[in-house]
Amino acid sequence: MSTIELPSLFLERMQGWLGSEFPDFLAVFNQPPQSGLRVNTMKISVADFLRLSPFDLRPIAWCPEGFFVGGDSRPGKHPYHAAGLYYLQEPSAMAVVDLLDPQPGERVLDLAAAPGGKATHIAARLNGQGLLIANDLHSQRAWDLVKNLERWGARNVMVTNEPPYRLADQWGAFFDRVLLDAPCSGEGMFRRSLEARLDWSPEIVRACAVRQGGLLPQAARLVRPGGRLVYSTCTFAPEENEGVIGAFLKAHPEFELVDVKTRVAFERAHPEWIGIETELPSWSGLYRLMPHKGFPEGHFIAVLRRRSGGEWREVRPFPIRLIPPAQRREIQNWLASLCTADIDPLRLMLNGHRLYFLSPAAIDAGHLRVILPGWFLGEIKKDRIEPSHAFLLALQGEQIAFKLNISADHPAILKYLSGEVLQEGWLSENERQVLAHKGWLAICVDGYPLGWGRVVEKAIKNHLPKAHRFL
């Protein structure tokens, strides 16, 4: 018996498939879920993070930048989280991008990317080189994705809000790597999510499989010849896993499964659970993470490669509308007053009042709904330019002209993160010197940018966006 209530039909299915392993599988539901964090290697090396971290961390064998978080630490409420030094992610989910294996300089597409667990992982692996396009169909979720990518400090990312077929119609077989982290019945998250348990039914599993069967061929259209396609779910249901892959490969002989070298031994695929074991010559290249076999939650990952073919489209660089020279110089002066980062003025673009830096790898999106075309730097107001949170969070502490650096355990940090005005009296004699500076000032935690403030009459007005505050 497990202490959380699981759908009886789900249990029946799993018992039928797992046989003698079923009691071990069931026992997992009596244990608390494990938390994980993944270090943002664009901002800090793993070794430096371990020196700085106050948390009880244990390495995750299938992700070199991932750690289990133990004890009663609350890493989501720590200033280092607000500074984007790590992302909180379910540990099994960290295997997906490790198997996608994006390389710096590549063009990578994450088709169902919100809220950004895998997209932030991809951005860190690209390390600022190449392009990540992160897409999600649902508008509100796509904006949550933008928020998480901003905190992450990624400059070479575009965010779109489209159904995948529209991206395929626009760009064709353009990407080196495509990830479809598909919407699924979520059985692998039952231990964490009451909602997933309440929503589950065999009909949901069937409906998800149909939807996934429609999405995967669209994802495949976007993969260049020789490129990699990774399909993942967080469910055990074979209809949504082996079933979707089997049907796809039968209809798409231009793709093959790739048996990649993995850091740990994952569970093999189970096509026999739905009687399709003879449909493919080989079922290697499919990986299951099972909770009773040393992985926290359930996941399924398929690694595929396009052997040949692909629809070619002409994909042009993003058409930057150049800013008139006089205004551009003004913006350059403004940028230089805030930081020493090397920002090519010819890649600056205004979209209405919003100022962006467009990565050299950014591409033309035609009529697609692009909600983030690049690095958002700030907003032009009537009499000034207001720097954005995304601008600051993508800078290194040493690139910032004026800053107040406070340690993580300084009481002023939590006040700042709660949205309060920083009063002179909270600062030491030394720290108070920054109040002589008028204007924008970056608040940093142990050297890492956290958010903007503005010095006004011996106090620092809080410019941390509401969405990033601790409530």
Shortest reach from residue 183's CB to ligand SAM, in Å = 4
User: For 241, how many CA atoms within 13 A lie in the half-sphere containing its CB?
Assistant: 30
Residue 371 within binding range of ligand SAM, rule CB under 6 A? no
List the one residue from 33, 163, 419, 447 that touches ligand SAM (CB under 6 A): 163
CA dist 181 and 97 (Å) reads 10
The binder of ligand SAM chosen from 84, 91, 102, 117 (CB under 6 A): 117
Indicate whether 114 belongs to the interface with ligand SAM (CB under 6 A).
yes
Q: How far is CA 366 from the centre of its chain?
A: 24
Residues near 5 by beta carbon (within 8 Å), at least 6 away in sequence: 197
| 271 in contact with ligand SAM (CB under 6 A) | no
Contact residue for ligand SAM among 14, 112, 189, 220 (CB under 6 A): 112
115 binds ligand SAM (CB under 6 A): yes
- Angle at which helices 139-152 and 117-126 cross, to 10°: 40
What does the per-residue mask of binding to ligand SAM show for 181-200, with x meaning CB under 6 A?
Answer: x-x-----------------
CA 318 to chain CA centroid, Å, is 23
Contact assessment for residue 152 and residue 137, using Cβ atoms and an 8 Å cutoff: no
Residue with Cβ nearer ligand SAM (33 or 163): 163
**Is residue 215 close enough to count as binding ligand SAM by CB under 6 A?**
yes
Q: Per rule CB under 6 A, is residue 85 in the interface with ligand SAM?
A: no
Shortest Å distance, C-beta 170 to ligand SAM: 15
Q: Where would I find the beta strands (DSSP E) of 422-468?
A: 422-423, 439-445, 448-456, 459-462
Q: What is the dihedral of CA 419, 420, 424, 429, to 10 degrees?
A: -50
Q: Are the C-beta atoms of 389 and 417 separated by less than 8 Å?
A: no
Minimum distance from residue 87 beta carbon to ligand SAM (Å): 9
For the record, the structure tokens of 243 come out as 């079933």
From 63, 184, 234, 339, the catalytic residue: 234
Residue 164 as a binder of ligand SAM (CB under 6 A): the answer is yes
435 near ligand SAM, rule: CB under 6 A: no
Nearest by Cα to 78 from 452, 448, 455? 448
Give yes or no: 234 in active site: yes
Tokens coding 385: 């330019």
How many residues interact with ligand SAM (rule CB under 6 A)? 17
Tell me if 72 sits within 8 A of 141, measured CB to CB: no
What distance, in Å, lies between the first and last C-alpha atoms of the chain? 38
C-beta of 160 vs 405, nearer to ligand SAM: 160
- Asked if 323 is part of the footprint of ligand SAM (rule: CB under 6 A), the reply reads no
Q: Which of 41, 141, 193, 345 binds ligand SAM (CB under 6 A)?
A: 141
Report how far residue 63's alpha carbon sits from residue 267's, in angstroms, rounded to the nearest whole number. 17
With respect to ligand SAM, which residue has the nearer C-beta, 91 or 117?
117
Residues in contact with ligand SAM by the rule CB under 6 A: 111-118, 136-138, 141, 163-164, 181, 183, 215
What positions carry a catalytic annotation? 234
